[in-house]
Amino acid sequence: MNLAYAGETLSVIFDWDYVLWEVRLKLVAAGFFIYLDVFLLLHWLASWISASYRTLSAKQKVFSNIAIARGLLGIQSCIAGLWAMLIDPVFQADKVYSQQKWSWFHCLIASGFILFENVVVHVSNIVFRTCDVFLVVHHLFAFGGLLGLIINIKSGHYLPVMGLLLEMSTPSICMCNLIFISMLFSLQTGYANTLLWKANQWVLIHMQHCRLVLTYHMWWVCISNWNDVVENLGLPHFIVFFMGLSTLTIILNPYWIYRSTRRPFGPVDWNFSFFTAVFGSSGKLNSETLQRKRI
């Protein structure tokens, strides 16, 4: 009885007329403001309960909060992606043209988050005068792919949902940054030597390799149904999707695997370059090094 009630509740949540522009735009806006609220709430809570957080720079605070928000999206995306890949009979039967109301809802909410994250990334780059080219390229292609889905209501959802499943690594990245940032320079205070840190790093490496395998699966779906995929997406949307998937497969995934694999063997903070300037580039960022610097 409870399962039936839960199923009815989910049906009500997903039961929208997605053909209407106003519905799609409202859900994108909802995703944007939901994750904006999460971002601001995280900042408020951390400022209230953590003295260490209050000592961080503005750049570190922005990065830690967006990492946690991205981790929440990663959990949401893993549930939706694994459901589409392994369970949902509609997507099992047709990987090109199939759509579901729940996939519409998820993709539109995720589009709102991707829009929000693009805003945060570009504003941060301007304010803090930094630019992670790999992250910017990744976000632009992600938003371009989801924008095509929003515009073209006939496009299938299996490949976009698989694209969102690529966020499977973000919960581990979120945990990594919680340890690294929330504990206030955790590498320097010895947390890089704890079992939690090391276990999370190996989970992250594994997830990065799973991402690579998932991109091969997406290529297999595209190549096996090439003409249908081009027809379904439309040429402009297909070009953006093809370029994004190619960039991810050839450049971004291998680079992120390299970064993730190097970290356990020589802890390095890839996000804040001033650590290298202050604590040196040898990778031996333990508590003894910190004490020497303070002296």
pLDDT of residue 185: 45
pLDDT band at 158 (very low <50, low <70, confident <90, very high): very high
190 — alpha (psi -120 to 50), left (phi > 0) or beta?
left
pLDDT of residue 20: 92
Question: What is the rounded CA–CA span in Å between residue 12 and residue 16?
Answer: 8
Q: What percentage of the chain exceeds 90 in pLDDT?
A: 44
pLDDT of residue 180: 57
Structure-block tokens of residue 150: 């929003």
pLDDT over threshold 90, residue 187: no
**Of 19, 246, 221, the residue nearest 145 (C-alpha):** 246
pLDDT band at 253 (very low <50, low <70, confident <90, very high): very high
Q: Which residue has the tokens 């991402």?
A: 211
pLDDT over threshold 70, residue 255: yes
Q: How many CB atoms lie within 10 A of CB 143?
A: 17
pLDDT band at 268 (very low <50, low <70, confident <90, very high): low
pLDDT of residue 285: 38
Written as one letter, the residue type at 92 is Q
> pLDDT tens, 92-107?
999 999 999 999 999 9
> pLDDT tens, 131-149?
778 888 888 899 898 999 9
**Of 93, 120, 88, the residue nearest 106 (C-alpha):** 88
- pTM for the whole structure: 0.82
Q: How many CB atoms lie within 10 A of CB 124?
A: 18
Domain residue extents for the chain: 22-268+279-294
Question: What is the rounded CA–CA span in Å between residue 50 and residue 32?
Answer: 27
Distances 156 to 16, 90, 125, 246 between C-alpha atoms, Å = 17, 11, 34, 20
pLDDT of residue 283: 39
Least confident of 56-65, 115-124, 176-185: 176-185
Written as one letter, the residue type at 105 is F
pLDDT of residue 260: 83
Helix (H) or strand (E) holding 179, with range, is: none
Structure-block tokens of residue 192: 């890089």
* Helices within 87-194 (DSSP H only): 89-93, 101-128, 133-151, 158-165, 170-177
Question: What is the rounded CA–CA span in Å between residue 204 and residue 226?
Answer: 32
156-173 burial, b at 16+ Cβ within 10 Å, e below that, comes to bbbbbbbbbbbbbbbbbb
Structure-block tokens of residue 248: 């991810």
pLDDT of residue 284: 41
Average pLDDT, the chain: 81
